[in-house]
Amino acid sequence: MLPGPKSRVKAVALTAMTAAAYTVGVVALAPISFYIYQVRVADALLALSTILGLPVIAGTAIGCALANLYGGYGIVDIVGGSLANLIATTVGFLIAKRRFRGSLIVALLAETLIVSIIVGGYLAVLFNVPLEVGFLSILVGSLISINLLGYGLVKVLKRLGHYG
Amino acid sequence: MMRVFEGLRFRRIPSPVHELDPRSKAVYVAVVSILSIVYSDPLVLTVLLIIQIPLVYAAKVVRFWLNSLRGSTFLAVFIFAVNLLTSYLYMGGFTLEGLLTATAMTLRFILLMGVFSLFFLTTTPEDLSLALEKLRIPYDICFAFTAAMRFVPDIALEAQSIMDAQKSRGLELERGGFIERIRKTLPILVPLFIRSFQRSLELAEAMESRAYGAIEKRTSLYELKMSKNDYVFMILSIILLTATLLIKPP
């Protein structure tokens, strides 16, 4: 288990760096598209809330808002996306904290579902996109980025242990 | 890739819009957002979009503004296509009404995008952080926000080096199928995050050496102050809201 930062200053610093890394990931690693599915690679960082907790929760929310500054998806991200990230990573963290068998997979699935429901939800409410369509297209993208890439990221980092 | 960040790095341009207080600009953003959500009439939305243009000109950020709108093409097309398709499926054919709804929804999206990007293009990170503090958001969060903004170009450079390094080891990012290409991003994500984690420890040390958080009540060197222009701008925004609602009730 990776140690989440214990001191307040370290937590604040890690929050800032996670936010910056997320922003760079969103902008620099261009999303990989496949028909209407778009995989946002940086969302793999959401999975890290399961091992690092609060700094990743706040960091990915701030990073999502920041990505907008660099010409991301505007309002869709800055309010909805940040909120989705915030809630998803919090729930993921709370589930992973209980450490039962397969808790990591359950936590990541929960994150994916929450992101899809929130983003799909406001796409439906704001822009008249049918709930199923928005939900499904986000779900496929998030499943790949959070569950496939994110799972890999968590596994690799855990194996590396105390890095830094 | 670095060009993206270079082009979008904040530039302090002397313009009347840049000089406005973030709080008064936020009122304007709120007004336009409310209006764009309340109305689904393409005409009203077009008029609201046209109102943005002189402001963008006054702020001297036309090129950047258009750039950020270009970034949202994917979602705009998605929203338009899905709307058109559902109206086709539910109404059994292409109708004028369906086309109008699809246009309105796309316009709403572009409008929301535009007004938010105008706000961020004309507000310095420092001002934003000060405004967040005024809204009583904990200083830790405000600091993380400004620090993240400051480190984005550095980490982007880092990401570029990592990509080059992995490519020189034979990682072909642009080749392979859908899943293949996604798996290939892992050798970039892992070192990128590890480096960010290491940097956070260095940053923490620097912060501690400057006694971060030692004093409960912080004071700022610069304070945000509302000027006469700010009040005028806010009043104009509220007039825009009430006038639109009165002239054409939704």
| Residue A136's CATH number | 1.10.1760
How far apart are the C-alpha atoms of A72 and A60, rounded to whole Å?
A: 14
First-residue to last-residue Cα distance in chain B: 44
3-state SS string for A7-28: CHHHHHHHHHHHHHHHHHHHHH
Which of A21, A71, A133 minimises the CB distance to B155?
A: A21
Closest CA of chain B from A114, distance in Å:
20
Provide the CB-side half-sphere exposure for B154 (13 A, CA). 15
pLDDT for A90 equals 94
| Cβ separation B178–A32 shorter than 8 A | yes
Local confidence band at B206 (pLDDT 50, 70, 90 cut-offs): very high
In a domain, residue A164? The reply is no
Q: Does the pLDDT value for residue B204 go beyond 90? A: yes
In chain B, what are the domain boundaries? 1-123+224-250, 127-218
Dihedral of alpha carbons A75, B154, B62, A31, sign: negative
Mean pLDDT confidence for A126-155: 86
How far apart are the C-alpha atoms of B191 and A53, rounded to whole Å?
A: 20
Q: Tell me if A48 sits within 8 A of A92, measured CB to CB.
A: no
Q: Does B176 touch chain A (CB under 8 A)?
A: no
In a domain, residue A88? The reply is yes
From the candidates B3, B6, B77, B82, which should be mutated to test the interface with A, based on the most A CB atoms within 10 A? B82
Mean pLDDT confidence for A69-73: 55
Q: Does the pLDDT value for residue B31 go beyond 90? A: yes
Local confidence band at A77 (pLDDT 50, 70, 90 cut-offs): low
Mean pLDDT confidence for A90-108: 91
pLDDT for A102 equals 87
Q: Does the pLDDT value for residue A39 go beyond 90? A: no
Q: Does the pLDDT value for residue B8 go beyond 60? A: no
Angle made by CA atoms A60, A62, A67, in degrees to the nearest 5: 90
Domain housing A51? 5-159
Closest CA of chain B from A23, distance in Å:
7
Residue at token pair 């808002």: A65
| DSSP SS3 for A71 | coil
Most confident residue range from A45-49, A137-141, B133-137: A45-49
Q: Does the pLDDT value for residue B4 go beyond 70? A: no
pLDDT for B196 equals 92
Local confidence band at A22 (pLDDT 50, 70, 90 cut-offs): very high
**DSSP category for residue A3:** P
Cβ neighbours of residue B83 closer than 8 Å, sequence gap 6 or more: A127, A128, A129, B98, B101, B102, B105, B106
Q: Tell me if B71 sits within 8 A of A71, measured CB to CB.
A: yes
CA B246 to chain centre: 30
Local confidence band at A114 (pLDDT 50, 70, 90 cut-offs): very high
Please tell me which residue, B243 or B73, carries the higher pLDDT value.
B243
| H or E element at residue B80 | helix B73-91
In this structure, what are the phi and psi dihedrals at residue A32, rounded to the nearest 5 degrees?
A: -95, 120
pLDDT for A33 equals 62
pLDDT for A89 equals 94
Structure token pair of residue A132: 């199923």
Which of A49-58, A76-85, A104-113 is least confident?
A: A76-85
Residue of chain A nearest B179, judged by CA positions: A144
Amino acid at B235: I
Q: Does the pLDDT value for residue A143 go beyond 60? A: yes
pLDDT digit string, tens, across residues B74-103: 778 888 888 888 888 777 777 788 888 889
Share of chain B above pLDDT 70, in %: 95
How many independent structural domains does chain A possess?
1
How far apart are the C-alpha atoms of B115 and B28, rounded to whole Å?
A: 9
pLDDT for B18 equals 84
Amino acid at A24: V
Please tell me which residue, A59 or A136, carries the higher pLDDT value.
A59
How far apart are the C-alpha atoms of B191 and A45, rounded to whole Å?
A: 12
Find the DSSP H helices in B169-227.
178-183, 186-209
pLDDT for B131 equals 87
Q: What is the ipTM of this complex?
A: 0.86
**pTM given for the model:** 0.80
pLDDT for B70 equals 76
In a domain, residue A44? The reply is yes
Please tell me which residue, B44 or B96, carries the higher pLDDT value.
B44
pLDDT digit string, tens, across residues B150-198: 888 889 889 999 999 999 999 888 777 778 888 888 899 999 999 999 9
In a domain, residue A41? The reply is yes
From the candidates B110, B113, B210, which should be mutated to test the interface with A, based on the most A CB atoms within 10 A? B113
Local confidence band at A91 (pLDDT 50, 70, 90 cut-offs): very high
In a domain, residue A132? The reply is yes
| Beta-carbon count within 10 A of A101 CB | 7
**DSSP category for residue B215:** S
Q: Does the pLDDT value for residue A119 go beyond 90? A: no
| DSSP SS3 for A60 | helix
pLDDT for A59 equals 94
Which of B114, B120, B186 minimises the CB distance to A152?
A: B186
In a domain, residue A67? The reply is yes
Please tell me which residue, A106 or A68, carries the higher pLDDT value.
A106
pLDDT for A108 equals 94
Closest CA of chain B from A95, distance in Å:
23
Q: In whole numbers, what is the pLDDT of chain B averaged over residues?
A: 84
In a domain, residue A114? The reply is yes
Local confidence band at A19 (pLDDT 50, 70, 90 cut-offs): very high
